[in-house]
């Protein structure tokens, strides 16, 4: 006890010590296993490709140049397009749900849990559920056949449509939750004041509710767009070989194509995009915290 | 914001909820279907679940996933909690930067986390196996734990430890008798979250596991690609049920500390 | 023989180039109810935390002494003080009994003794042990939490109790009641109270002595009457109660009275030989020490100013008459309400009046520190 007290008195005289002590292990870990690897990737992206797929000494920007060729730009463009499309779809589908939850009284907790649950349960399983639904012998085709709408299974899987649906399905909860958080904070008295000033329901929505929910909308769009940008599983399982997104491209460079530098360059471009978006978001004057 | 809900909003909500849950529900229902080619219900059976027990790859994958998740969770929880305490309770230069750095792994696409760690391991000659997977999992789980614990700390009265000190407890006693009991639910919630994230991870694991260290998601992924039998429905159902329960538990514990 | 239980000797505390407490010195006597009073940011809470031990004085020679012993290096748990926090800081995961008993646990009090001592402490703060012992803090009202926080500190029978704006969150009626109860406890238990507040009425009502703080320094230290009736600086004169201010130059009349001139008006003000002739000074007069007379009908020997009535405000107990002085400055006069229905004051808006006061009812103010 004596020695403990002496130790505590010693640390009390150095008020910065406990903070740094708590910080050090976690920060060191992240520095070694997060920051350094990313720097490594940055380094690889400007090195020459080795004969056996590794890297060789020698700086070059050929990989970046190659990335901006039409072939690969198309992949980037497709990825951006689909991510954007998925984000818009999530917004259209998610906003009403967020509104409903914010206005619900008795059911609110249940509704919230029902949104959170699917997102956190295995992404793989959910993607497979989509396969299960969309494949030629899947439920959708089965239902359409039984109803007589079609007489041959239509190709749903391995199409851009499937990837899009998969993306929306995967990230929809991430759109709903931030919007709900924003809507929940809208003060009822604001709406009452608007009504007293003569605003009809439609005006109240567009002039009061929608603008106030903007922080949540922006956050939701970011939380949907960014993961969609880097998504890999969805396009791989639901899109097959032909629907290639940037994530798939990067993956193939590190496995089958054995072109690490090129893969690194592509990865860095994506990382740069993500960082640019995040920084732009954090610089907004009226930002709400993204997490916590 | 509580007012009447317009009909179209309610309809849209029901439709969206249906969209969110129907696929997995169907998957789970058909795991009991007595037909190999699914999509038409032919009868109830538990065969596919029994089959799981015969599949060594699934069983060893499951074992490895549990092992990895447990160890990764313990390490990530300790490191993440320490970071949360440092951020919320202590002043130091560059606190803002550290906070931002902490949340970077959360927005970084998994594919990039995967390749970068692969790059690191190869560069230093570290063999790919269960250990490399654990290291990778700890890395992305830390931020999850930190976020949850920080949220819990936000609701805590800063003066609780001061009050304990005025009552004769030194910093050590105050921490263990006051702060930890208050934080415990948050720490547990963060741990549960980390466990689930680790258990479910495919992308990062696929890069750093190498041959022979396949976790359950890696095995399931292979099955999904090759599109084989409904045992995949069975294992999926089990995964969904278990993780749902864990997450319901985490949600219970996640709420911020009540005011003193 | 007054025991000095708390002494601060030239204590300063600096945070990142900002002086939160600037060379503050004072003593607190045993059994006293001593208040640190001032607006937010004046340094009163930091001063309390210096006494408690959460902050260490700057290493420039300042000393904190408890019962004669230097405690600069001692941690809060080594100082033997009690403290009640503004937010009460009850441990949410412990019930009332285990909250109040926390300090006893820390001291190693035998388990079987704790419940009875806790019960006694709860009775001191007027909480029925049978009802409250097993309740959790979340189930208590604000006033009940405050009492539990008090009991938790008192159960350890501290020699000195520190209180950091404990009544701020309570509603008016409860606050006034608690003020009386705290004062009663201070007297009956003989514990020294060091009390921090920004509410000047509260400080005046409860304290034996008050230290008025402004911008990290003590502006004035004295008992309530001294503070109220003889404010030393313009800050004290305006922070405590209301004051009317006048500026002018010093012109000596005789050895013990100083005349202050302003334009054509001359005031007779009690002597202060430290003030040199020709210096510009300010004096303060409280509204309730002024009376209204017809112009020219001012009693002999009193100071007066002439003005026009701008507003007459009925406040029940008092009537405030707001005047616009001839030089444009506002003036407030507080008259006791003798019954407006039977005996109304004769002044209406627009009337020309003289506001007058006796020379001994005003002060020359020192410069703000």
Per DSSP, the three-state class of C356 is strand
Q: How many CB atoms lie within 10 A of CB C258?
A: 24
In percent, how much of chain C has pLDDT > 70?
96
Sheet of strand C69-70: strand arrangement: C18-29, C4-15, C63-66, C69-70
Examine the pLDDT at A290 and tell me if it is beyond 70.
no
- Higher pLDDT: A259 or B252? It is A259
Q: Please say which residue of C180, C214, C238 terminates a domain.
A: C238
Residues C356 and C212 occupy one common structural domain: no
- Please give the Cα distance from C6 to C64 (Å, whole number): 8
Q: Which residues of B touch A172 (CB under 8 A)?
A: 16, 19-20
- Rounded to the nearest angstrom, the minimum Cα separation between B241 and chain A is 9
Residues C96 and C55 occupy one common structural domain: yes
Q: Which residues of A touch B239 (CB under 8 A)?
A: 121-122, 125
Exposed, middle or buried, C348 (CB in 10 Å: 0-12/13-18/19+)?
exposed
Examine the pLDDT at A1 and tell me if it is beyond 90.
no
In percent, how much of chain C has pLDDT > 90?
67
Q: Which residues of C touch A9 (CB under 8 A)?
A: 73, 75
Closest by CA to A86, choosing from A210, A215, A223, A180, is: A223
Structure tokens given for C332: 């407030």
- Please give the Cα distance from B236 to B216 (Å, whole number): 10
Probe site for chain A from B6, B8, B16, B146 (most A CB atoms < 10 A) = B16
Strand partners, C218: C213
For residue C58, report the phi and psi dihedrals to the nearest 5 degrees. -60, 150
Read off the DSSP letter of residue C326.
T
Mode of pairing for the β-strands spanning C209-214 and C291-293: unpaired
Exposed, middle or buried, A188 (CB in 10 Å: 0-12/13-18/19+)?
exposed
For A14, nearest residue in chain C (alpha carbons):
C56
Closest by CA to A60, choosing from A269, A268, A261, A253, is: A261
- Please give the Cα distance from A5 to C363 (Å, whole number): 53
- Rounded to the nearest angstrom, the minimum Cα separation between B231 and chain C is 46
Read off the DSSP letter of residue C275.
S
Residues C170 and C250 occupy one common structural domain: no
Structure tokens given for B198: 């680790």
Whole-Å CA distances, A210 to A98, A182, A206: 12, 10, 5
- Rounded to the nearest angstrom, the minimum Cα separation between B149 and chain C is 17
CB C156 within 8 A of CB C191: no
For residue A93, report the phi and psi dihedrals to the nearest 5 degrees. -75, -35
Residues C357 and C283 occupy one common structural domain: yes
Q: Please say which residue of C185, C205, C238 terminates a domain.
A: C238
Superfamily of domain B47-253: MetI-like (1.10.3720.10)
Q: Which residues of C touch B165 (CB under 8 A)?
A: 53-54, 75-77
**What is the predicted ipTM?**
0.86
Residues C89 and C212 occupy one common structural domain: yes
Confidence of residue A285 (pLDDT cuts 50, 70, 90): low
| CATH code, domain carrying C83 | 3.40.50.300
| CATH code, domain carrying C290 | 2.40.50.100
Residues C120 and C255 occupy one common structural domain: no
Residues C177 and C279 occupy one common structural domain: no
Per DSSP, the three-state class of C338 is coil
- Please give the Cα distance from C272 to A174 (Å, whole number): 74
The model's pLDDT over A80-96, given as tens digits with 9 standing for 90+, comes to 999 999 999 999 999 99
Residues C309 and C355 occupy one common structural domain: yes
Residues C111 and C55 occupy one common structural domain: yes
Q: Where are the domains of chain A?
A: 1-44, 63-282
- Please give the Cα distance from B50 to B56 (Å, whole number): 12
The model's pLDDT over A222-279, given as tens digits with 9 standing for 90+, comes to 989 999 998 889 998 888 878 889 999 998 888 888 888 888 999 999 999 999 998 8
Q: Which residues of C touch A12 (CB under 8 A)?
A: 75
Q: What is the pLDDT of residue C253?
A: 64
- Please give the Cα distance from C206 to C35 (Å, whole number): 8
- Please give the Cα distance from C142 to C146 (Å, whole number): 6
Per DSSP, the three-state class of C357 is strand
**Could you tell me which residues come within 8 angstroms of residue B37 by beta carbon, excluding any fewer than 6 positions away?**
A137
Architecture of domain A63-282: Orthogonal Bundle (1.10)
Q: What is the pLDDT of residue A288?
A: 47
Q: Please say which residue of C238, C264, C290 terminates a domain.
A: C238
Examine the pLDDT at A105 and tell me if it is beyond 80.
yes
Q: What is the pTM of this model?
A: 0.82
Confidence of residue B174 (pLDDT cuts 50, 70, 90): very high
Q: Where are the domains of chain B?
A: 47-253
Confidence of residue C135 (pLDDT cuts 50, 70, 90): very high
Whole-Å CA distances, A79 to A56, A272, B104, C332: 30, 15, 22, 74
Residues C231 and C246 occupy one common structural domain: no
Say whether residue C70 is in contact with chain A using an 8 A CB cutoff: no
Q: What is the pLDDT of residue B259?
A: 39
- Higher pLDDT: A233 or B225? It is A233
The model's pLDDT over A56-83, given as tens digits with 9 standing for 90+, comes to 777 878 888 888 888 888 899 999 999 9
CB B20 within 8 A of CB A116: no
CB C82 within 8 A of CB C195: no
Structure tokens given for C53: 């031990």
Structure tokens given for C160: 């000195």
Q: Residue ranges of the alpha helices (H) in C247-311?
A: none
CB A99 within 8 A of CB A183: yes
Average pLDDT score over chain A: 86
Q: What is the pLDDT of residue B260?
A: 35
- Rounded to the nearest angstrom, the minimum Cα separation between C253 and chain B is 58
Residues C224 and C140 occupy one common structural domain: yes
The model's pLDDT over A198-224, given as tens digits with 9 standing for 90+, comes to 888 888 888 888 988 998 999 899 989
Residues C258 and C330 occupy one common structural domain: yes
Q: Cβ contact (<8 Å) for B166 and C153?
A: yes
- Cα angle C299, C301, C306; round to 5: 60
Closest by CA to C361, choosing from C310, C311, C304, C309, is: C304
Q: Cβ contact (<8 Å) for C91 and B165?
A: no
Confidence of residue B258 (pLDDT cuts 50, 70, 90): very low
Mean pLDDT of C208-221: 95
For A98, nearest residue in chain B (alpha carbons):
B13
Provide the residue count of chain B: 260
Query: Which segments of chain C are extended strands (E)?
Result: 4-15, 18-29, 33-37, 63-66, 69-70, 82-84, 160-164, 192-197, 209-214, 217-222, 244-254, 257-262, 265-270, 280-285, 291-293, 303-314, 318-325, 330-336, 352-357, 362-365
Examine the pLDDT at B228 and tell me if it is beyond 70.
no
Whole-Å CA distances, C220 to A106, C7, C289: 58, 17, 21
Examine the pLDDT at A287 and tell me if it is beyond 80.
no
Q: Cβ contact (<8 Å) for B1 and A191?
A: yes
Print the domain residue range for C303: 242-365
Average pLDDT score over chain C: 90
Cα of C104 vs its chain's centroid, Å: 33
- Please give the Cα distance from C81 to C51 (Å, whole number): 9
Probe site for chain A from C75, C76, C108 (most A CB atoms < 10 A) = C75
The DSSP string of chain A is -HHHHHHHHHHHTSTTHHHHHHHHHHHHHHIIIIIHHHHHHHHHTTEEEPTTSSEEEEE--HHHHHHTSHHHHHHHHHHHHHHHHHHHHHHHHHHHHHHHHHH-SSSHHHHHHHHHHHHHS-HHHHHHHHHHHHSTTSHHHHHHHHHTS-SS----TTSHHHHHHHHHHHHHHHHHHHHHHHHHTS-HHHHHHHHHTT--HHHHIIIIIHHHTHHHHHHHHHHHHHHHHT--HHHHHHHTTTS--HHHHHHHHHTTS--HHHHHHHHHHHHHHHHHHHHHHHT-TTPPPS--
Examine the pLDDT at B135 and tell me if it is beyond 70.
yes
């Amino acid at each position: 006890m004596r020695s403990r007290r002496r130790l505590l008195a010693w640390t009390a005289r150095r008020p910065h010590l406990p903070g740094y002590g708590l910080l050090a292990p976690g920060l060191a870990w992240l520095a070694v296993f997060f920051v350094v690897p990313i720097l490594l990737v940055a380094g690889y992206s400007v090195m020459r490709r080795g004969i056996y797929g590794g890297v060789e000494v020698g700086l070059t920007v050929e990989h970046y140049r190659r990335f901006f060729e039409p072939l690969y730009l198309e992949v980037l463009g497709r990825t951006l397009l689909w991510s954007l499309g998925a984000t818009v779809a999530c917004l259209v589908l998610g906003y009403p749900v967020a509104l409903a939850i914010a206005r619900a009284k008795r059911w609110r907790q249940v509704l919230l849990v029902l949104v959170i649950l699917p997102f956190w349960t295995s992404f793989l399983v959910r993607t497979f559920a989509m396969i299960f639904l969309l494949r030629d012998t899947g439920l959708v085709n089965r239902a359409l056949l039984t109803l007589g709408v079609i007489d041959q299974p239509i190709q749903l899987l391995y199409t851009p449509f499937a990837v899009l649906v998969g993306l929306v399905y995967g990230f929809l909860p991430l759109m709903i939750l931030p919007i709900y958080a924003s809507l929940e904070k809208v003060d009822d008295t604001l709406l009452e004041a608007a009504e007293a000033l003569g605003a009809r329901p439609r005006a109240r929505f567009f002039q009061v509710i929608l603008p106030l929910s903007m922080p949540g909308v922006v956050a939701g769009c970011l939380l949907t767009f960014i993961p969609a940008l880097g998504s890999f599983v969805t396009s791989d399982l639901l899109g097959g070989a032909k629907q290639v997104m940037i994530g798939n491209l990067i993956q193939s460079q590190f496995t089958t194509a054995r072109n690490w530098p090129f893969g690194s360059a592509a990865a860095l471009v994506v990382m740069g995009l993500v960082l640019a978006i995040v920084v732009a978001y954090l610089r907004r004057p009226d930002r709400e915290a993204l997490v916590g | 914001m509580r007012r009447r809900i317009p009909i179209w909003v309610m309809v849209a909500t029901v439709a969206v909820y249906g969209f969110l849950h129907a696929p997995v529900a169907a998957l789970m229902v058909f795991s009991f279907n007595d037909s190999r080619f699914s999509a038409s219900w032919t009868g109830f059976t538990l065969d596919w679940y029994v089959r799981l027990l015969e599949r060594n790859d699934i069983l060893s994958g499951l074992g490895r996933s549990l092992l990895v998740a447990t160890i990764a969770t313990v390490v990530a929880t300790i490191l993440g909690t320490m970071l949360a305490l440092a951020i919320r309770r202590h002043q130091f230069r560059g606190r803002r930067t550290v906070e931002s750095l902490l949340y970077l792994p959360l927005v970084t696409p998994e594919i990039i986390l995967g390749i970068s760690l692969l790059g690191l391991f190869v560069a230093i000659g570290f063999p790919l196996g269960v250990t490399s997977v654990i290291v990778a999992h700890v890395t992305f789980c830390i931020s999850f734990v930190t976020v949850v614990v920080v949220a819990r700390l936000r609701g805590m009265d800063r003066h609780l430890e001061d009050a304990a000190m005025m009552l004769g407890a030194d910093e050590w006693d105050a921490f263990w008798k006051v702060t930890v009991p208050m934080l415990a639910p948050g720490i547990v919630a963060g741990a549960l979250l980390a466990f689930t994230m680790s258990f479910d991870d495919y992308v990062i694991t696929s890069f750093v596991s190498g041959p022979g260290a396949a976790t359950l998601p890696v095995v399931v992924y292979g099955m999904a690609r090759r599109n084989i039998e409904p045992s995949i429905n069975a294992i999926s159902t089990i995964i969904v049920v278990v993780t749902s329960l864990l997450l319901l538990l985490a949600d219970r514990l996640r709420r911020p500390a009540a005011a003193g | 023989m007054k025991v000095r239980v708390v002494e601060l000797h030239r204590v300063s505390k600096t945070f990142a180039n900002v002086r939160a407490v600037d060379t503050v010195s004072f003593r607190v006597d045993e059994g006293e109810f001593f208040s640190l009073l001032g607006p937010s940011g004046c340094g009163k809470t930091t001063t309390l935390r210096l006494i408690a031990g959460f902050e260490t004085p700057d290493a420039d020679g300042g000393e904190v002494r408890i019962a004669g012993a230097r405690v600069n290096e001692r941690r809060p748990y080594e100082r033997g003080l009690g403290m009640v926090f503004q937010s009460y800081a009850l441990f949410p995961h412990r019930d009332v009994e285990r909250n109040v008993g926390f300090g006893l646990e820390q001291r190693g009090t035998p388990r079987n003794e704790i419940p009875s001592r806790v019960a006694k402490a709860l009775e001191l703060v007027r909480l029925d042990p049978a009802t409250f012992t097993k309740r959790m803090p979340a189930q208590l009202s604000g006033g009940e939490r405050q009492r539990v926080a008090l009991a938790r500190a008192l159960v350890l029978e501290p020699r000195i109790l520190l209180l950091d704006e404990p009544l701020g969150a309570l509603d008016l009626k409860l606050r006034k009641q608690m003020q009386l109860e705290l004062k009663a406890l201070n007297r009956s238990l003989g514990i020294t109270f060091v009390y921090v507040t920004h509410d000047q009425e509260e400080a005046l009502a409860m304290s034996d002595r008050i230290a008025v703080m402004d911008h990290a320094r003590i502006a004035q230290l004295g008992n309530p009457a001294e503070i109220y009736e003889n404010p030393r600086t313009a800050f004290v004169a305006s922070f405590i109660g209301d004051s009317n201010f006048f500026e002018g130059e010093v012109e000596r009349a005789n050895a013990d009275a100083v005349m202050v001139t302003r334009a054509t008006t001359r005031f007779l003000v009690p002597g202060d030989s430290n003030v040199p002739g020709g210096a510009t000074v300010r004096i303060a007069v409280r509204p309730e020490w002024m009376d209204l007379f017809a112009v020219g009908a001012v009693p002999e020997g009193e100071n007066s100013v002439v003005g026009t009535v701008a507003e007459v405000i009925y406040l029940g107990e008092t009537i405030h008459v707001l005047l616009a002085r001839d030089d444009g400055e506002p003036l407030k006069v507080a008259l006791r309400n003798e019954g407006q229905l039977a005996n109304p004051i004769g002044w209406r808006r627009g009337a020309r009046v003289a506001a007058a006061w006796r020379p001994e009812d005003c002060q020359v103010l020192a410069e703000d520190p």
